[in-house]
């Protein structure tokens, strides 16, 4: 069974709700979802997963510091290309429209791409990945479901 690590930081619970909706969608496709708070995340979680989703609140137009620290730590996997070819994706909760949430999505996505991971654009919603304004409403939760399903299907295809 393909397994997907959903690693997230959430101080107030908004990003966590998105992570949980993604995990539910992943499980519904028959993949295993492992929800991991970034404070508990290990490099082994990245190594062992068939696909990785990273979620963060938008802090000053970027991913939050705890998520950035984890992404920086993942440089240890860069040299040997341990994440190369593995599917990756991102999701973000931000405070307001125009609050630079898309920059945070781009910054997470850049991290995935620098590792050589495979990032699929999203046609049926926010094209960079799910983006909530504050607490995720039903529209965002539906989008997380669609994105989680799309992501799990990609992981299944690439995991063979």
Ligand X SMILES: Cc1cc2nc3c(=O)[nH]c(=O)nc-3n(C[C@H](O)[C@H](O)[C@H](O)COP(=O)(O)O)c2cc1C
> Where along the sequence are the contacts to ligand X (CB under 6 A)?
10-16, 57-61, 93-96, 99-101, 134
The residue sitting closest to ligand X, measured at its beta carbon, is 99
Q: Considering the complex, state which of residue 139 and residue 157 has its C-beta at the smaller distance from ligand X.
A: 139
Q: Provide the minimum distance between the beta carbon of 42 and ligand X in the complex, in angstroms, as a whole number.
A: 21
Q: Considering the complex, state which of residue 38 and residue 83 has its C-beta at the smaller distance from ligand X.
A: 38
Q: Provide the minimum distance between the beta carbon of 20 and ligand X in the complex, in angstroms, as a whole number.
A: 11
Of the candidates 48, 36, 25, which has an alpha carbon nearest to the alpha carbon of residue 159? 48
Q: Provide the minimum distance between the beta carbon of 64 and ligand X in the complex, in angstroms, as a whole number.
A: 7
Q: Provide the minimum distance between the beta carbon of 52 and ligand X in the complex, in angstroms, as a whole number.
A: 18
The token pair at 125 is: 């919603």
Q: Considering the complex, state which of residue 43 and residue 103 has its C-beta at the smaller distance from ligand X.
A: 103
Q: Considering the complex, state which of residue 51 and residue 55 has its C-beta at the smaller distance from ligand X.
A: 55
């Amino acid at each position: 069974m393909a397994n997907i690590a959903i690693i997230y930081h959430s101080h107030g619970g908004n990003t966590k709700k998105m992570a949980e909706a993604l995990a539910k969608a992943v499980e519904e496709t028959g993949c295993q979802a492992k929800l991991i708070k970034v404070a508990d995340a290990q490099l082994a979680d990245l190594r062992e997963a068939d696909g990785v989703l990273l979620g963060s609140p938008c802090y000053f137009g970027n991913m939050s510091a705890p998520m950035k620290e984890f992404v920086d730590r993942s440089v240890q996997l860069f040299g040997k290309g341990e994440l190369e070819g593995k599917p990756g994706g991102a999701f973000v909760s931000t405070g307001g429209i125009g609050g630079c949430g898309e920059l945070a999505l781009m910054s997470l996505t850049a991290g995935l791409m620098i590792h050589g991971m495979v990032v699929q654009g999203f046609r049926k919603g926010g094209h960079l990945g799910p983006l909530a304004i504050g607490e995720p409403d039903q529209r965002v939760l539906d989008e997380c479901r669609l994105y989680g399903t799309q992501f799990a299907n990609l992981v299944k295809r690439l995991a063979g």
